[in-house]
Amino acid sequence: MPSLRATAKQSRAAWHFGLQRRSAPRNDGGFVPDSGFTPVGAAWKGLLVPRSLGVLLLAAAIAQPSAQAADPPPENRHSGYAFMGPSLRAMQDDDMANPASLWLQDGETLWRQPAGTAERSCADCHGDATASMRGVAARYPAFDARNDRPINLEQRINRCRTTRQQAAALHFESHELLALTAYVARQSRGLPIAIKDTPALHPFVEMGRRLFYERQGQLNLSCAQCHEANAGRSLGGSTIPEAHPTGYPLYRLEWQSLGSLQRRLRNCMAGARAAPYAYGAEAFVDLELYLMWRANGMPVETPAVRP
């Protein structure tokens, strides 16, 4: 049966962007029980309505995309922070106890350190990062006219390195790139995520959304099946968060290191027994963009701590 949940989400996005979906409605995974009662929309989780009423609501949503069909309102979204215990929260909140501070310290050093044949440091162009980089990370991934597609913060930093500093690009997940990214993103801590709603980004958000709802891997799972349909419940000993990437790069206890969002996504894909995309792959950036767009308005926590 066509899923009302998927359709509600589609019209949600249509409302946000003021455009209609181009692709056909998609089944988001068949979690909807065939009982004559149909849950409508993730924001209404737990609320059951008779199917006939659901159809009416659906018709209304198609005819006139309303606020009801919008993304879950901010109070219904939770950062992974909300699912952590008090000791982990304390670890994130105290800069001295947060191991990511070690990367921030290195990031600050790298910011002032000349690199490449241009012998130029980040600070030579951008000055004091606390002022110039404030709010920047909250806007990434952002549309890049040169590539004619969005790039993420790591790629933006490497762009500066290769073009302005004339230095070699830093490897993804290298200590240096993580340190610089964390240092730049730290300057946005507390500011709301603000992915720009520009037409140029729409196809890529749409692509990321498609990836989020697409089943993949030997376990045949979509991101949404865990992170929307079962968010807040347990997977083994861990609580499944809602997949709002508010604190990247973050320190993960399991990694005993700082890591990027793409590293986290690769973990998830491997968990679903799918072949992870390569670091920096276009599909990853699209997915990153969609997740950040989905978290629009939530405060940046970088560098967060997660189990």
Phi, psi of 49 (to 5 degrees): -125, 150
Per CB under 8 A, does 102 bind another protein?
Answer: yes
Per CB under 8 A, does 97 bind another protein?
Answer: yes
**What is the DSSP-derived secondary structure letter of residue 252?**
E
Smallest distance from another protein to CB 106, Å: 6
Which residue type is seen at 28?
D
How do the residues of the chain divide into helix, strand and coil, expressed in percent and rounded to 5? 45, 10, 45
Per CB under 8 A, does 101 bind another protein?
Answer: yes
Per CB under 8 A, does 117 bind another protein?
Answer: no
Residue 263: exposed, middle, or buried by beta-carbon count in 10 A (0-12, 13-18, 19+)? Answer: buried
Per CB under 8 A, does 256 bind another protein?
Answer: yes
d(CA 162, CA 144): 15
* Spatial CA neighbour of 27 closest among 222, 293, 202, 226: 222
- Please indicate whether residue 268 is annotated as part of the active site: yes
**For another protein, which residue of 72, 99, 116, 299 counts as binding (CB under 8 A)?**
99
**For another protein, which residue of 8, 15, 69, 106 counts as binding (CB under 8 A)?**
106
CB count in 10 Å sphere of residue 294: 25
**For another protein, which residue of 56, 125, 253, 270 counts as binding (CB under 8 A)?**
253
Per CB under 8 A, does 1 bind another protein?
Answer: no
Closer by beta carbon to another protein, 44 or else 255: 255
Q: Identify which range of 96-104, 125-133, 154-162, 223-231 contacts another protein by CB under 8 A.
A: 96-104
What is the contact surface with another protein in residues (CB under 8 A)? 96-97, 99, 101-102, 105-106, 175, 253, 256-257
